[in-house]
Amino acid sequence: MHKTLLAFAAALCLCLAPVRAQPGYKPAPANLAAREWFQDARFGLFVHWGVYSVLGDGEWVMNNKKIPIADYEKLPARSPRRQA
């Protein structure tokens, strides 16, 4: 019962909370032109290459494989990305 009531209260708060963009944000003309091009071309790409991808086992690899923090912190040194 408590979980149901809590879930309902949380959903109600989310529905009633105003959702707005940053106040006073006005995109630059170049930004608007770029958006228009992507919208017209119907092209989009999202690439996320996090530290966990070094192991090739998804975002929850540290939790799922029970990797200690000390070992996980060493992963950026193993990254295939070229170091400057």
Listed in sequence order, the residues at least 6 apart from 4 whose beta carbon sits closer than 8 Å to its beta carbon are none
Listed in sequence order, the residues at least 6 apart from 43 whose beta carbon sits closer than 8 Å to its beta carbon are none
Question: How confident is the chain (84 residues) per 10-residue block, as mean pLDDT?
Answer: 70 62 83 87 75 80 91 78 52
Q: What pLDDT, on the 0 to 100 scale, is given for residue 53?
A: 78
- DSSP class of 66: T
Give the pTM: 0.37
Report how far residue 59's alpha carbon sits from residue 64's, in angstroms, rounded to the nearest whole number. Answer: 9
